[in-house]
Amino acid sequence: MLRNTNWNNIYHCSNVDLCYNTFSDQLNYCFNECFPEKLCSRKRFSDKKWFTPGLKVSCMHKNKLYKKWLTTKDSASEAKYKNYRKIYNKMLRAAEMVYYRKQFDNKTNILLSNYGIILIKCIAFLNIVESKAVSQN
């Protein structure tokens, strides 16, 4: 995209401010063409891959407890809500941690297996080179 852009008007410009503005406009145009904005629905905007259906149910239950506490202004419902919220937040952090740990372990295992293959190939190559050197002597 940048290679196909005509930069001649920048090279032949005598005013530095105009030159910079033209360059900036061209660069922003190329960027916007290559990386267009994607619209995300409001419903799916806050969805996370680690946010399980069980956590969604727990979230709805927590919200119901909160609404009940707001309407009744009862200290018992407040304690119930705050206790459930504390447990919910712990579950939320644990689910996120488990998800990303699995992702990291999976990527690490793939990386290690690739390095293992490369290491085996290098050892085989070194053995071939070493055997040729021994046979030439």
The 10s digit of each residue's pLDDT in 57-71 is 999 999 999 999 999
Answer yes or no: are the C-beta atoms of 77 and 69 closer than 8 Å. yes
Which pTM does this prediction carry? 0.50
Answer yes or no: are the C-beta atoms of 62 and 85 closer than 8 Å. yes
**Could you tell me the residue range of the domain that residue 55 belongs to?**
42-136
pLDDT of residue 81: 95
Shared-domain flag, residues 48 and 77: yes
Dihedral sign, Cα of residue 83, residue 87, residue 93, residue 96: negative
Residue whose C-alpha is closest to residue 49's, from 99, 102, 92, 108:
99
Shared-domain flag, residues 24 and 63: no
Distance CA 9, CA 24 (A): 13
Half-sphere exposure of residue 95, counting CA atoms within 13 Å on the CB side? 16
Q: How many domains, in total, are found in the chain?
A: 2
Distance CA 75, CA 32 (A): 54
Residues of the chain falling short of pLDDT 70: 40-46, 117, 124-125, 128-137
Half-sphere exposure of residue 57, counting CA atoms within 13 Å on the CB side? 3
Shared-domain flag, residues 63 and 104: yes
